[in-house]
Amino acid sequence: MRTLISNGTIVTAEGSSTADVLIDGERIAQIGSGLAAAGVTADETIDATGRWLIPGAIDVHTHMELPFGGTFAKDTFESGTRAAAFGGTTTIVDFAVQSRGKSLREGLDAWHAKAEGNAVADYGFHMIMSDVNDDTLAEMDGLVAEGVPDFKLFTAYPGVFYSDDGAIFRAMQRTAKNGGLIMMHAENGMAIDVVAADEVAAGHTDPYYHGVARYPIFEGEATNRVIRLAEAAGVPVYIVHLSARDALNAVRDARDHGSMAFAETCPQYLFLSIEDMKGGFNGAKFVCSPPLRPADHQAELWQGLVKDDLQLVSTDHCPFDFEGQKDLGKGDFRKVPNGLPGVEDRVDLLYDGGVVAGRITRERWVEIIATAPAKLFGMFPRKGTIAVGSDADLVVYDPTATRTISAKTHHMDVDYSCYEGRQVRGRSDVVLSRGSVIVRDGEFTGKKGHGQFLKRAAADHARIS
Ligand code: URP
Ligand code: ZN
Ligand code: ZN
């Protein structure tokens, strides 16, 4: 099958130009102006006049079916990758989970079983390590070799995913040898639990107090600590879902001093604030960790993106229904499952709040939603750009369309939207995954099981030699 996408403005991280793109099978075969006029033939031509052609976006932080707080994140690999595709995201990297006492292998096999035959677009895995011991450390080497080269550890969630500094340092030492990358959820979970217990004892049980108890300084302290540990081990470290200026300051200082510190933020920290957590139990819709911050943190996060102290934006997509899941925490905010839906909205939110609002260029937008994720997570240049030989993961994007975000129309399997009623400019009109059109004009045209596991390269590119 050959597809010609004609007359679009190609936007990549490097620049923009008007040209045609010929897809042959699953790959980009040719890029040039006037290909059709020059006699290039195709089975289908998509006219992209007046629209942009961008690389399929990549979300490197999702949690399909994550077990949390006695329930499971609601999107499956089928519903989650389908919703992602509607929003222009054609690759996700999800977190496989090692349960306490089990092997990494068991966790990874379970995630392969969830995804294979179900995902409608390509996917890779990172590995959540709940235990760091001789066996799991040895297993890390094998995972790096089989294309799962990143390991998430937590200074948060004591008793669940929490690792102490010694465990984190041992895992980092291992990545110095095997080339893997440690990803850190950096919040001081021990201190947070003290404040959270104090709040509950004072009768402050509403979801809002989830936000109150998780002080920004607890994120700043843990971020600084894990970066220092990574420096001691001589390895890069990647801070996930950075939410607070305190943490951003730690990352910026480290980078200014030559540290191999990398970080992402998420749309919820750029567009929502702790004020959204008010209003009684309705605030449970916004319970995630780290929590939403006072609105004055947002401008600094945008600056972080402009200056590349933050390299990319992922979603941390982890959806729980308001009715039947979030309500597990009625009467005690500590029992609200942590996580927000978002995989469908990231591309448009970032376009609207970033490019349309004049904060970033369209090239930087493509970089933070597609190219930087591909580079940092071992998928470039197969993914994350528009180049001959790259996978034909492409989005025909209408920069002038407007839409209203709503749970009534979104495709994520969750009963609310964090952005209900918000109008955004920008829309993914045609979405291709490896040459197949999987979304066209608001209709799903893809196939369950089309998505393939992506064996990703180790994180050597993140190391400063
Ligand atoms: O609240 C969140 N972020 N839930 C998902 C799990 C995690 O820590 O990333
Ligand atoms: Zn986390
Ligand atoms: Zn997460």
Ligand 1 atom closest to the Cα of residue 152 is 9
pLDDT of residue 459: 66
The residue whose CA is least distant from atom 4 of ligand 1 is 339
Residue 229: inside a domain:
yes
Element containing residue 11 per DSSP (H, E): strand 2-11
pLDDT of residue 177: 94
Residue 250: inside a domain:
yes
The residue whose CA is least distant from atom 3 of ligand 1 is 289
- Write out residues with Cβ below 6 Å of ligand 1: 63, 185, 241, 288-289, 316, 318, 338-339
Residue 209: inside a domain:
yes
- Determine the Cα–Cα distance for residues 240 and 194; give it in Å rounded to an integer: 23
Residue 386: inside a domain:
no
CA-derived radius of gyration, the chain: 21
Pair type for strands 71-72 and 67-68: antiparallel
Query: 66: CA distance to ligand 3 center in Å?
Result: 9
The residue whose CA is least distant from atom 5 of ligand 1 is 339
Instruction: Give the number of other CB atoms < 10 A from CB of residue 256.
Output: 10
For 412, the token pair is 């994520």
Model confidence, pTM: 0.98
Query: 441: CA distance to ligand 3 center in Å?
Result: 30
Residue 77: inside a domain:
yes
pLDDT of residue 460: 65
For 204, the token pair is 């402050």
> For tokens 């990319």, what's the residue?
312
Residue 30: inside a domain:
no
- Determine the Cα–Cα distance for residues 248 and 146; give it in Å rounded to an integer: 32
Pocket test for ligand 1, best of 60, 92, 318, 326 (most atoms within 8 A of CB): 318
- The CATH number given to whatever domain includes residue 311 is 3.20.20.140
For 65, the token pair is 């079916």
Domain that holds residue 138: 56-380
pLDDT of residue 465: 43
Residue 231: inside a domain:
yes
Neighbours of ion ligand 2 (CB under 5 A): 185
Residue 41: inside a domain:
no
Q: What residues in the chain have per-residue pLDDT under 70?
A: 459-465
Number of domains in the chain: 1
Residue 270: φ, ψ to 5°: -95, -25
Query: 78: CA distance to ligand 1 center in Å?
Result: 20
Instruction: Give the number of other CB atoms < 10 A from CB of residue 219.
Output: 31
